[in-house]
Amino acid sequence: MIAGCGGAPPQAIDPCNIVEPACQRKVFVALEALRGQLWDPWLSPPRVEVLTPDQHARRVERELGGSVVSSGWNGSLQNLGVLARGVDVGDADRGWYIDKVLAVYWYQLGRVSIVDRGAPFDDVDATATLFHEYAHAAQDRDLNLGAAVAVTTDQEIVRTALIEGEAMVYDRLAAAAMTGIAPRDFDWDGYFRTWLVRERAGTATDPSAHVHVRRALPYPLGGSLMARAWLRGGRTGINHVFFAPPRGSLDLMLDIEDRAGVALRPSLPCAGGRHPEGARIVDRDSLGAAILYAFLARNFGNDEEAWQAALTWRGDVLWLLSEDRTRAAITFWKVHAPDLRATVVGRRLEGRVVPPVLDGEHLLFWDAADPALVERMRAALACE
């Protein structure tokens, strides 16, 4: 989907009308050549269809019936300030796809849809977009994009970044070839960093920043990571990233900041935890550095201050609990960020007695009203 010398230079590519079968075949074969693959079962490219925005919205509602994030987390995310009040996270996800997406490869259907928003179908941008979507079709063939995988929020962000990042590499290689730019002469870092700045500018004001960060930021973060891999080793370099993926969104954030060599020794504050007296654990997740950034940007500082503070993340666990007496849902979030105190945002958090609070090397958030229950949670969900 689309919202170097390390590899072989792209073959001659010209813009074409992407709704025409001859153009589709030409793009598909060129994409396969860029990826170094051409398999007989896929000599015929996936079908391409043009949808109106209304048709696209209906397709999204039908095919994206759920979200990777369970609606059971709605209250927690709303109390954290990263999901709009009264909004279901699945509805917010679908709304993003409906409003932001220009084209989609539907792995459920094995076809590409182009959303007709009034742009030409025969220029460089349109042709590059078809390269992008055919890259997803090739990934589906190689990786089975529809396979159900149980992941944390942080892992989901990484997975999306790798998938969209590889597609962005071939998207930009095609655009460069069509405009006469050699891969080494294209400003890969500048392109993706500028894109990231653009997306980050909307984080603090987006009431559903959780969705914005999960959906929008993987494009420039993953694009930067995969472009550097391609410049180092072409398709083999990209494969290496898939075989040894980033440990979390923190790695993506550090890479685009040219700080990938930082020794992290990431750790989770606790992988499990005990049921505290008076409540029971219902579910758990790890939100990662990217969602910590969204939380801090929404609540405790300007964008750059929040970004730099989020880079101190070294692990987190978000627990969803149910109070025994009232059955009320309770959130408890523990973030391991040993250097957070030294940041601008950390200094603002010093001395707080209402959540979030700093507790040694951790940032704690809870939404329980009973102080005694809070203390029991802090004890039961501490590391043993």
| 12-34 confidence digits (pLDDT tens) | 789 999 999 999 999 998 999 88
Give the count of alpha carbons within 13 A of 377, CB side only: 26
Tokens 């917010």 belong to residue? 92
What was the pLDDT predicted at 229? 97
Q: Which long-range contacts (CB under 8 A, 24 or more apart) does 84-93 make?
A: 84/207, 84/208, 85/207, 87/207, 87/208, 89/210, 89/211, 90/66, 92/208, 92/210, 92/211, 93/64, 93/67, 93/69, 93/211, 93/215
pLDDT confidence bin for 9, thresholds 50/70/90: very low
Strand 279-285 versus strand 315-323 pairing type: antiparallel
Query: How far is the C-alpha of 330 from the C-alpha of 347, rounded, in Å?
Result: 27
For all residues of the chain together, what is the average pLDDT? 90
Q: What is the mean pLDDT of residues 292-316?
A: 95
Can you read off the two tokens belonging to residue 359? 């507790």
Using the structure block, give the residue that is written with the tokens 């005694």: 372
Do 183 and 176 touch, CB atoms closer than 8 A?
yes
Cβ neighbours of residue 25 under 8 Å, at least 6 residues apart? 44, 45
Look up tokens 């696209």; give the residue: 56
- On whether the CB atoms of residues 151 and 159 are closer than 8 A, the answer is yes
The pLDDT value given to residue 151: 84
Could you tell me the pTM of the whole model? 0.93
Sequence ranges of the domains in the chain: 21-256, 279-380
- Interatomic CA distance for residues 318 and 283, integer angstroms: 8
pLDDT exceeds 70 at position 58: yes
Tokens of residue 333, six digits: 């979030």
Q: C-alpha distances in angstroms, 174 versus 30, 184, 345?
A: 9, 13, 42
377 against 123, higher pLDDT: 123
